[in-house]
Amino acid sequence: MKPLKGLKIVTVEHFAAGPYGSMYLADMGATVFKVENTASGGDPARKMGPYFLGDNDSLLFQGWNTNKNSIALDLKSEEGREAFLAIVRSADAVMNNLRGDQPEKLGIDYASLKAAKKDIVCLHISAYGRNNSRANWPGYDFLMQAEAGLMHLTGDPSADPTRFGVSIIDFMTGTVGVLGLLAALRKAGQTGEGCDVDVSLFDVALHQLGYAGTWYLNEGLESSRVARGSHMSVSPVQTFTAQDGWIYVMCMTERFWELMVDKLGRNDLKTDPRFVNQHARSANRDALTEVLDAEFAKAPAEHWLETFCGLLPVAPVLSVRDALENPFVAEVGMISEVPHEMRPDMRLLSNPIKFNGERLSQRPGSAFGAGCAETA
């Protein structure tokens, strides 16, 4: 099922945020034309290692660009501009993830394109936004994690400020961006007029503070890192040391707390004044950690996973290898075979969206310039 079949998107994008977002559109059936700079050889991600697929392609690039069609253009040339406008006239939306001052300069905002197509929707994904003092600043995911307070909240209190292990703000911003784009397309279909949609890495990163941000804004509470990856206000919700590794346990409710101590054979903990309710457990988190570590250390992680399976929210703490080799990943079909001409056995992560229980099909992103601007 391809619910966006018939939708035509033109995207001027590179690296992660824009490509990640437009990949969802392409996987769901939209025809996505990825405009890449002729002079530079295209999206820099094509040249990012350590694993390459020929001269101008890489596994990193393919991870964000399935089902797209590459068109090589120089938007600053007269010929390139005319070719671009020809594509826009038959498109539904134009998106980009350039620096905030670039869309207007390149003429890819709504003010510049509405003469070519009145109902065109223009999505702008930038580092800091387009209409402020930082519009011309370059910016990347990790900078946003730093400035938005997320690194302050991540990791162990005794460790240095720590970023999330992958470019999560890029991925979130791309996803939020295409959500805005689809909403604007619905409105354009009703009114016959397009618009600009703006989403920035900075805004999305700040929004991810969630309840920590709300607490500070209303009560002045400045949250900080908590040991063992614990929840800030609920306990026990954290890692524990089993006999042979780490597990993560989440007693988000009193019911789960009681179930856990029952299975551990430690009903005495229910009446211990240090742990008698959620407030007490959070206030005495270190003491509770010591008690529960001693219990979980009595058996391997697999024993506890089997003991609590389906009853208590619990998970093993896995490496990337073990996470991808997890039999459950194969059971749910989260890895797809996507044959590439340079690597017939290429595997990628599946799109996480399913329709009527079916995963979306994927093909490799096309080679640089393999699309045809004249027929796009």
For 9-27, what is each residue's pLDDT tens digit?
999 999 999 999 999 999 9
Q: What was the pLDDT predicted at 126?
A: 98
Q: What percent of the chain has pLDDT over 90?
A: 98
Which pLDDT tens digit goes with each residue over 158-199? 999 999 999 999 999 999 999 999 999 999 999 999 999 999
In whole angstroms, how far apart are CA 362 and each of 17, 50, 325, 348, 352? 19, 23, 21, 9, 12
Beta bridge partners of 196: 122
Looking at residue 373, its pLDDT comes to 66
Contact 66, 27 (CB under 8 A): yes
Q: Cα separation of 158 and 138, whole Å?
A: 31
pLDDT tens digits along 235-258: 999 999 999 999 999 999 999 999
- In whole angstroms, give the CA distance from residue 159 to residue 226: 11
In the set 14, 152, 231, 279, the catalytic residue is: 231
Contact 10, 86 (CB under 8 A): no
Q: Is residue 178 a contact partner of residue 104, using CB atoms and an 8 Å limit? A: no
pLDDT at 79: 96
- pLDDT, mean of residues 117-140: 98
Q: Average pLDDT of 290-296?
A: 98
Each residue's pLDDT tens digit, 320-347? 999 999 999 999 999 999 999 999 999 9
Each residue's pLDDT tens digit, 84-95: 999 999 999 999
**C-alpha pair distances (Å), 374 with each of 42, 82, 122:** 19, 10, 21
User: Which residues neighbour 28 within 8 Å (Cβ) at sequence distance 6 or greater?
Assistant: 2, 3, 4, 351, 353, 360
**What does the buried/exposed string (b/e) look like for 83-122 if buried means 16 or more CB atoms within 10 Å of the residue's CB?**
bbeebbeebbbbbbbbbbebbeebebbbebbeebbebbbb
Average of per-residue pLDDT values in the chain = 97
- Catalytic (active site) residue 231: yes
- For residue 155, pLDDT over 80 is answered with yes
Mean pLDDT of 193-214: 98
Question: How many degrees, rounded to 5, is the angle at CA 337 between CA 331 and CA 340?
Answer: 170
- Residue 356 structure tokens: 């009527």
